[in-house]
Amino acid sequence: MAKDPAFLFYYQDFAHGTRRFTLEQKGLYIELLCEQADSKTGSIPISIFEEMCDNSEECKTVSDKFKVDENGYFNQVLRENLDKRRKYCESRRNNLKKKPHMEAHMEAHMDTHMENTNTNGNRDVVKDVKHKHGEFKNVLLTDEQFKTFTEKHGEELSNKAIDILSNYLITYKGGEKYKTHYAVLPRWPLTEAKKTTGDPF
């Protein structure tokens, strides 16, 4: 599995915890948090930390936000949040593995919790943008998901399945339980669409 490229950022906690920081200190703090998140050990090597944060009084205020272990400097709150995110993603993945019929939809299901990245490890924002489809414009799919679904099942059948899901979402509140529409489309909406075409498979 590729390295998780994101972590939760609680902006209110950050604003409260840095309310007396200068803009330079806030920038340095963010840089150090990113360095820790990118570290394999969960800590910033001492040499790198000291290179980024010298012994000046301004840096001391920022360094007070970090502790030290055998691997280097780390922010305790960030470490806990990264650990929670890792455990949550692992639990979701393990739950899906227990359901063989969900195996084909695992990647789409995890898209709601893990960011897509391009080959450079940066967020591919365009790939993540979802557009509205269906009769009531309430079926949300990325361009890549729509393309993959229509190429696999054909444009006519795919549009029927999307319309069926669209009607369900506007009619029944149960549709709110779906985390990602792409994962549910190949299941009952596609089955119902095939019934209208006489295609049993």
Lowest pLDDT segment from 81-90, 96-105, 106-115: 106-115
- Residues near 46 by Cβ (< 8 Å), separated by ≥ 6? 68, 72, 73
**Amino acid at the residue 25:** Q
Query: Looking at the whole model, is its pTM more than 0.75?
Result: no
Q: Give tens-digit pLDDT for 37-67.
A: 999 899 999 999 999 988 787 798 999 999 9
Query: What is the distance between the alpha carbons of residues 201 and 189, in angstroms, rounded to a whole number?
Result: 13
Q: Give tens-digit pLDDT for 60-98.
A: 899 999 999 999 999 999 999 888 888 888 887 777 666
Q: Which among 2, 3, 25 is positioned nearest to 14, based on CA atoms? A: 25
Q: Which two tokens stand for residue 41?
A: 């050990």
Q: Which two tokens stand for residue 44?
A: 């910033």
- Beta-bridged to residue 117, according to DSSP, are 123
